[in-house]
Structure 1
């Protein structure tokens, strides 16, 4: 299997996780069975980890609070940052954890129901971890673009233009 074909399949799935495999085959001018085999292998290797839906919570009837927490930690001997990152990413409210360069070591993304839930997470779960030295919490006020999708498109003005 060619790396170029794998990349093309991955790109199409990344753009639209609901795309049918026969549609991918048609778009790439390949046999459907080859596309099925590629996707199966990519899933088994852990390259394709999850199929998802991007939700614009700002427009949904139920709102979510997003926060980014910068965490400074003391790395653990023999484990570096990995063991601490694992303790953090196992909490259900954590959406992402990244090892960072710069002033802070880890960046933690949360999506919860309230600002109070963010505060409770930091004070009751994150700060008590022995290796955590300090945290800095940033609340996301508005999302303009996420995962390559513009979320804040201005609504079109449907009014008729009338000139005197």
Structure 2
């Protein structure tokens, strides 16, 4: 879909900070607030802007640390629908946050969130690996986030390791 230069500018601005007002965005692209609101509404109506999200550093909230895992999934594609059918079956699980068709050794990359490693393991063993088309899985647990969706995660902690020099 071909976009105007103003629409593209709006997307770039909102992707960086979706909390900006239409008035502020309008000043940045040299449009009125009303014209900017109309352009944003058009982008939303055409499903180019899908959602507005807050990025939360959950490890800083007691009791909400959780576990995120990236699971490589090897599947047998079905005739006529390829990978779409199995991908849809996978993304319908509540635990699943993202599903991507990948090139390389595995076909799908699945991102899930759970309260514990055991919960993630149960999901893989009881739900994901039991699907007919799934041949194998490899689970990778995220140990620490440094940067996500372009946002840096600052631990706020100083590095307390002793410097060792030769």
Fold match by TM threshold 0.5: yes
Q: Is the 8 A contact 1:126 1:132 kept in 2?
A: yes
1:36-83 CA-to-partner distances (Å, cap 9, x unmatched) read 111111111110111000111222212120000000000011000001
Structure 1: where are the runs of 5+ without partners?
A: 158-164
SS at match of 1:58: helix
The separation in 2 between residues aligned to 1:81 and 1:110, in whole angstroms, is 19
Provide the C-alpha distance between the structure 1 equivalents of 2:48 and 2:21, rounded to a whole number of angstroms: 18
The number of aligned residues is 157
List structure 1 segments (4+ residues) > 4 angstroms apart after TM superposition: 153-157
Change (3 A) 1:2 1:34: farther
Segments of 5+ residues of structure 2 without an aligned counterpart are: 160-166
- Partner of 2:81: helix, strand, or coil? coil
TM-score, normalization by structure 1: 0.90
Q: Normalising by structure 2, what TM-score? A: 0.89
The CA distance in 2 between the partners of 1:93 and 1:24, in whole Å, is 35
Residue equivalent to 2:90: 88
Check the 8 A contact 1:93/1:110 in 2, yes or no. yes
| Conserved 8 A contact 1:89-1:96 | yes
Output the aligned Cα RMSD.
Answer: 1.7
Tell me the distance in 2 between the aligned counterparts of 1:153 and 1:114: 21
The residue that corresponds to 2:152 in the other structure is 150
Matches of 1:11 and 1:155, distance apart in 2: 32
Check conservation: 1:143, 1:152, Cα contact below 8 A.
Answer: no
Please give the secondary structure, in 1, of the residue aligned with 2:78.
Answer: coil
- 1:156 Cα deviation from its structure 2 partner: 6.8
